[in-house]
């Protein structure tokens, strides 16, 4: 029990740990999402893609790129959670939803840029599953991928798609963190909700829906940019125009697997995060 008029706040690294733990569970869903976004065949559904991978390469192939996925969360998510929570906890008195959106934007921008190298390697390792053996990059792990990209293509290639990744991270952080906080605050004003896993679950699943809808167009374009071969796209507008040729729905390609991945990812992240906060967080006076 905490002393009266105090509360527990998270430590700076709790968000990264929570996201990395969630990624270990949801990685196969993330892999399928990337494959659906980059494949050119029409009417390929999530079950068809899963069956094809398992049949041709075995069930372990669903965890291709797991080391890069964890690396990405330990950079990208640690930065955005740490900055957002620090800004929120340093505020004097309650913060408005608009203020939290501003905090989430700053945190997302920093996290998106910092996490881009891990994201590049993550997308490439995941995409190897569907390529013919002679075209695969075959990175041994995330660190091997970082070294080989730097050596073979130059360090700037590690930041391929950084603009799109940063833009997506801003929108994602708004959709996840500030929306989650706002929904949670509203729920806690109701008599049958308290600071418990059921409230955390409800707020996180609603936040996941908002985040998926906001980020899907940017996510599709980011994935194409990061997986592109040298010279394939000349600019961000070129990626947009190429994607738009298939119609407006092309920007929401893979929406179902995206939500199927982001929903559990968001729920598990906040369940882990809140348990870390409630059990190991720092006790501070209520302002």
Give the per-residue pLDDT at 110. Answer: 96
Task: Kindly tell me if the per-residue pLDDT of 249 is higher than 80.
Answer: no
Over range 12-18, report the average pLDDT: 95
Mean pLDDT of the chain: 88
Residue 94 tokens, joined: 């309650």
pLDDT tens-digit map of 165-216: 898 899 999 999 999 999 999 999 998 899 999 999 999 999 999 999 888 8
Q: How confident is the model at residue 1 (pLDDT cuts 50, 70, 90)?
A: low
Task: Kindly tell me if the per-residue pLDDT of 232 is higher than 80.
Answer: no
Task: Kindly tell me if the per-residue pLDDT of 40 is higher than 70.
Answer: no
In a domain, 282, yes or no: no
In a domain, 146, yes or no: yes
User: Strand pairing partners for 284?
Assistant: 7
Length of the chain: 287
The domain that contains 153 carries what CATH number? 1.50.40.10
Ranges 45-49, 108-112, 136-140: which has the least confidence? 45-49
Cβ count within 10 A of residue 275: 15
- Work out the percent of the chain whose per-residue pLDDT is above 90: 47
In a domain, 117, yes or no: yes
In a domain, 109, yes or no: yes
In a domain, 285, yes or no: no
Give the per-residue pLDDT at 42. Answer: 66
Over range 90-102, report the average pLDDT: 89
Report the distance separating Cα 254 and Cα 46, nearest Å.
8
Q: How confident is the model at residue 20 (pLDDT cuts 50, 70, 90)?
A: very high
Give the per-residue pLDDT at 235. Answer: 76
Residue 54 tokens, joined: 């398992």
In a domain, 86, yes or no: yes
pLDDT tens-digit map of 41-84: 667 777 888 888 888 888 888 888 888 889 989 999 999 999 99
In a domain, 77, yes or no: yes
Report the distance separating Cα 120 and Cα 191, nearest Å.
45
Q: Structurally, how many domains does the chain consist of? A: 1
In a domain, 218, yes or no: yes
Over range 247-269, report the average pLDDT: 84
Give the per-residue pLDDT at 219. Answer: 78
Q: Which helix (H) or strand (E) holds 115?
A: helix 97-127
The residue segments making up the domain with residue 115 are: 10-275
- Per 3-state DSSP, the chain is made up of helix, strand and coil in percentages (nearest 5) of 75, 5, 20
Ranges 32-36, 86-90, 193-197: which has the least confidence? 32-36
pTM for the structure as a whole: 0.80
Give the per-residue pLDDT at 262. Answer: 87
Over range 139-160, report the average pLDDT: 92
Report the distance separating Cα 20 and Cα 117, nearest Å.
16
């Amino acid at each position: 029990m905490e002393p009266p008029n105090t509360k527990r706040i998270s430590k700076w690294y709790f968000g990264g740990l929570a996201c990395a733990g969630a990624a270990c569970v949801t990685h196969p869903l993330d892999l399928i999402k990337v494959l659906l976004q980059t494949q050119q065949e029409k009417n390929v559904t999530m079950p068809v893609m899963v069956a094809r991978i398992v049949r041709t390469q075995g069930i372990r192939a669903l965890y291709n790129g797991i080391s890069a996925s964890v690396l990405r969360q330990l950079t990208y998510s640690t930065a955005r959670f740490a900055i957002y929570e620090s800004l929120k906890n340093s505020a004097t008195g309650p913060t408005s939803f608009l203020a939290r959106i501003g905090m989430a934007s700053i945190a997302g921008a920093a996290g998106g840029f910092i996490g881009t190298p891990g994201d590049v390697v993550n997308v490439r390792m995941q995409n190897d599953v569907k390529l013919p053996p002679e075209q695969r990059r075959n990175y041994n792990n995330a660190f091997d991928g970082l070294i080989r990209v730097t050596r073979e293509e130059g360090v700037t290639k590690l930041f391929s798609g950084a603009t799109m990744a940063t833009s997506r991270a801003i929108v994602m952080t708004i959709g996840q963190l500030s929306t989650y906080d706002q929904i949670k605050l509203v729920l806690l004003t109701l008599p049958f909700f308290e600071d418990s896993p059921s409230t955390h679950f409800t707020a996180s699943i609603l936040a996941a829906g908002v985040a998926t809808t906001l980020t899907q167009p940017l996510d599709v374009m980011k994935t194409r940019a990061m997986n592109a071969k040298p010279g394939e796209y000349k600019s961000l507008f070129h990626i947009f125009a190429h994607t738009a040729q298939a119609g407006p729905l092309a920007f929401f390609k893979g929406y179902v697997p995206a939500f199927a991945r982001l929903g559990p990812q968001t729920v598990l992240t906040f369940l882990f995060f809140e348990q870390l906060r409630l059990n190991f967080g720092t006790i501070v006076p209520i302002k």
